[in-house]
Every structure is written in structure tokens, then in C-alpha cells.
């Protein structure tokens, strides 16, 4: 079946530190890969996506590369800010299934000034 494993949180970093949140998946077919973010008290928002192998998604300084050979989609940011504090979710998704997503358990990030 389809599943996602994310790095366990919470992750606590100081401002301007380097961030990596690991994500590996097992999936049937050829899904697109997504990172969603949930800020405190808000709904989920798309952070970035990659639709095929070796694609790199990027947004707001975050990046992730679709690695088919290692079935991974690790999220990175070179210098985090306090405003990046949120819960991050990795998810494969299938366009041909109406955009169905399967989520990882989420990784809570807390950035201290």
C-alpha cells in the first residue's frame, strides 16, 4: 500500500539554522510529491511540489527534490525564520485519482529567535 514516513518532531532550531525534514514514501504508480504546511490555527497550505523524478520544487526558500531511486522528498531550507514555525506534511498525490493525497505524520518545527 501507499505510505509516508517523515522525520519525527518536534524539531527545534535557532533562527538562521539549516533545516532538513526527511520524507520517504512507498507508492503505487507515479505520484506527484507535495509538501504542505499548517501554521498555528490555520488550515493546510501547499508549500511546494514536484511532479516527476528529479524535479525540484521550491517556494519561500524551501526546496525538495523528487528522488525516485531512493523514494524520498526531503525538505530543506538554508536559513529558517521564526515565522517558519509550523507543522510540515509530506504527501504523494495522484492526479488521476482526483488529486488524492496520503499524508505523513507531520513534523512540527519550532524556530527560536
Partner 1 sequence: GAVVSQHPSRVICKSGTSVKIECRSLDFQATTMFWYRQFPKKSLMLMATSNEGSKATYEQGVEKDKFLINHASLTLSTLTVTSAHPEDSSFYICSAGDPGAYNEQFFGPGTRLTVL
Q: Which is nearer to partner 1, 68 or 100 (by Cβ)? A: 100
Tell me the per-residue interface mask from 7 to 46 with partner 1, x by CB under 8 A, - otherwise: -------------------------x---x-x---xxxxx
103 belongs to the binding site for partner 1 (CB under 8 A):
yes
Question: Could you please report the per-residue DSSP string of 4-69?
Answer: EEE--S-EEEETT--EEE-EEEE-SS--EEEEEEE-TTS-EEEEEEE-STT-EEEETTEEEE-BTT
Where do contacts with partner 1 occur on this chain (CB under 8 A)?
32, 36, 38, 42-46, 49, 51, 87, 89, 93, 95, 97-106, 108
Amino acid at each position: 500500500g501507499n505510505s509516508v514516513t517523515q522525520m519525527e518532531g518536534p524539531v527545534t532550531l535557532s533562527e538562521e539554522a539549516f533545516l532538513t525534514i526527511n520524507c520517504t514514501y512507498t507508492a503505487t504508480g507515479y505520484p506527484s510529491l507535495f509538501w504542505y504546511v499548517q501554521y498555528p490555527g490555520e488550515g493546510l497550505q501547499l508549500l511546494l511540489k514536484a511532479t516527476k523524478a528529479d524535479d525540484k520544487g521550491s517556494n519561500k526558500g524551501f526546496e525538495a527534490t523528487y528522488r525516485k531511486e531512493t523514494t524520498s522528498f526531503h525538505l530543506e531550507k538554508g536559513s529558517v525564520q521564526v515565522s517558519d514555525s509550523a507543522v510540515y506534511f509530506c504527501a504523494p498525490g495522484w492526479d488521476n485519482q482526483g488529486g488524492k493525497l496520503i499524508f505523513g505524520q507531520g513534523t512540527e518545527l519550532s524556530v527560536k529567535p
